[in-house]
Amino acid sequence: MVRLHLLALLAKEPAHGYELKQALEQTFGSAYPSPNIGQIYVTLGRLEKDGLVRAVDVEQSNRPNKKVYYLTAKGRDVLMTWVDEPTEGPRVRDEFFMKLVLAPLTGIADRMALITRQRRHYLSLMSDLNDLLARTPPADRVAMLLIEGAMLHLQADLDWLERCQEDLA
Amino acid sequence: MSAVVKTVNLVKIYQDGALPVPAVRGVDLQVEPGEFVAVMGPSGSGKSTLIHMLGGLDARTSGEIWLDGQRVDTLSESAWALLRRKKIGFVFQFFNLVANMTVGDNVELPALLAGASPKVARERRESLLAALNLTDRAGAAPAQLSGGEQQRVALARALANEPSLLLADEPTGNLDSRNTRDVLRLLSDVHKQGQTIVMVTHDARVASLADRLVSLFDGEIVDDGRIARRRTRTAGEVIDLR
């Protein structure tokens, strides 16, 4: 998926790898980890091989040439298809639910203990998000929205945990 | 230092006609000074009954309740009322403000009832209203305020007598995110200043401010442990952006 993120950034303007990394960091703020530079270069290499971007060498004094990438027409088509189609797939993965259903069958764990431990785990995540939100400058709207989204997901997880407790315990 | 709250084998059985309905079935809970305890559990698990008994709003069927080292479950209703004025602050989901008093007076009254001097009570009122961004609403009647504002007033009122124990039952039940933020900030601040808090809530953001989580199920404590502080650096650990 980093492929499409990079295509989107290149649709704005041609850039070299490090500029793309910086653009991701500036857009998503501290709330989201941006990929490391190696991953960006590997992805750009693959995009180039697939004909979605092209690179030109730009000379620099006293340093090796840098490669500036730009979007091809084919790359723009792929990007537009991604943007235009509804986003498929599950919104969350839930490994915990599998444990909750399967573990008691084998006698290796008790549902009540699984649920209460998981509840405390969610709350400690939530507590971290509270701290993160407090440290995020309110002007950083993208980061704020992302943290608030994460909080709402956690709240839903906790509500579901309670439903599981009512029904399964 | 002795516990702020201690219960011993606390039981509450409601009578539904001929049918006894146990709501709380033998709870042993001890809360130390400065602790913030969140109580969670499905509806019907006995959370509200427990917290009402701790505040003397509901009589226990059997067992003991101790507050600041004093046994209180045996007190008369009037003795409970006196004790509440001095030692307990209570916030409910529905705010129960005095309708014919101004917002400011609603906050100031509990401090006066607890025996603070008029000067101290006034200072307390002003600092609490300021902390909750309510200073310019001090002269209004509660009915002129939004639900969220009224809930903030209710929290200010509960803290006005500098209670040994703050009890809260779903204090953010009806709040939008901005009001919740103000309530969260004040709770977090007073907790840092050493306020002991026991709170029933479904709201994960509020619960996550607590040091400790007590889970109730069917009137019994099924889990009691600390909420660990980790170091999540990014929302990416919860939302996987593709």
Tokens found for residue B163: 């209670």
Nearest 5°: phi and psi at A100?
Answer: -60, -40
d(CA A15, CA A6): 10
Q: B207 contacts in A (CB within 8 Å)?
A: 123, 126
Mutant choice from B203, B238, B242 vs A, greatest count of A C-beta within 10 A: B238
d(CA A121, CA B233): 16
- Mean pLDDT, residues A66-90: 91
Q: Is the pLDDT of residue A9 over 80?
A: yes
Q: Is the pLDDT of residue B108 over 70?
A: yes
* Contact (CB<8Å) B238/A154: yes
Residue from the list B40, B177, B241 with its beta carbon closest to the beta carbon of A119? B40
Contacts of B196 (CB under 8 A, 6+ apart): B4, B5, B31, B32, B33, B34, B35, B36, B164, B165, B166
Residue from the list A120, A130, A159 with its beta carbon closest to the beta carbon of B205? A130
* Contact (CB<8Å) A130/B184: yes
- The alpha carbon dihedral of A169, A121, B164, B143 has a sign of negative
For residue B185, the model assigns a pLDDT of 85
Alpha-carbon B236 to chain mean position: 33
Mutant choice from A126, A146, A167 vs B, greatest count of B C-beta within 10 A: A126
Q: B229 contacts in A (CB within 8 Å)?
A: 124, 127-128
- pLDDT tens digit sequence for B109-162: 999 998 899 999 999 999 999 988 899 999 999 999 988 888 889 999 999 999
Residue type, B80: W
- Mean pLDDT, residues A128-137: 86
What percentage of chain A has pLDDT greater than the value 70? Answer: 99
* Sheet order of strands, B196-200 included: B88-91, B165-169, B196-200, B36-40, B212-217, B220-226
Closest-CA residue to A136 (of A150, A122, A116) = A150
Mutant choice from B172, B178, B191, B205 vs A, greatest count of A C-beta within 10 A: B205
Report ipTM for this prediction.
0.83
The pLDDT confidence band at residue B1, using thresholds 50, 70 and 90, is low
Q: What is the separation, in whole angstroms, between the first and last Cα of chain B? A: 52
Q: A89 contacts in B (CB within 8 Å)?
A: 242
Residue type, B52: H
* Contact (CB<8Å) B177/A148: yes
A6 min Cα distance to partner chain B (Å)? 12
In a 13 Å sphere around the CA of B3, the CA atoms on its Cβ side amount to 14
The pLDDT confidence band at residue B233, using thresholds 50, 70 and 90, is low
8 A C-beta contact, residue B107 and residue B156: yes
Q: A143 contacts in B (CB within 8 Å)?
A: 235
The pLDDT confidence band at residue A89, using thresholds 50, 70 and 90, is confident
Q: Does A152 touch chain B (CB under 8 A)?
A: no
What is each CA distance from B226 to A166, B84, B210, B219, in whole angstroms? 23, 28, 9, 20
* Contact (CB<8Å) A31/B222: no
- Smallest CA–CA distance from A155 into chain B, residue: B204
Q: A146 contacts in B (CB within 8 Å)?
A: 235, 239, 241
- pLDDT tens digit sequence for B166-205: 999 998 877 777 778 888 888 998 999 999 999 999 999 9
B16 min Cα distance to partner chain A (Å)? 22
- pLDDT tens digit sequence for A24-46: 888 887 777 778 899 999 999 99
Nearest 5°: phi and psi at B221?
Answer: -80, 120
Averaged pLDDT of chain B: 91
Domains of chain B by start residue, with CATH:
33-51+77-228 (3.40.50.300)
Closest-CA residue to A58 (of A15, A113, A89, A122) = A15
d(CA B22, CA B41): 16
* Contact (CB<8Å) B202/A159: yes
Q: B215 contacts in A (CB within 8 Å)?
A: 116, 119
Q: Does A142 touch chain B (CB under 8 A)?
A: no
- pLDDT tens digit sequence for B39-54: 999 988 999 999 999 9
Residue from the list B42, B208, B235 with its beta carbon closest to the beta carbon of A146? B235
Q: A1 contacts in B (CB within 8 Å)?
A: 241-242
* Contact (CB<8Å) B209/A127: yes
For residue B242, the model assigns a pLDDT of 65
For residue A131, the model assigns a pLDDT of 86
For residue B194, the model assigns a pLDDT of 93
- pLDDT tens digit sequence for B72-98: 999 999 999 999 999 999 988 777 889
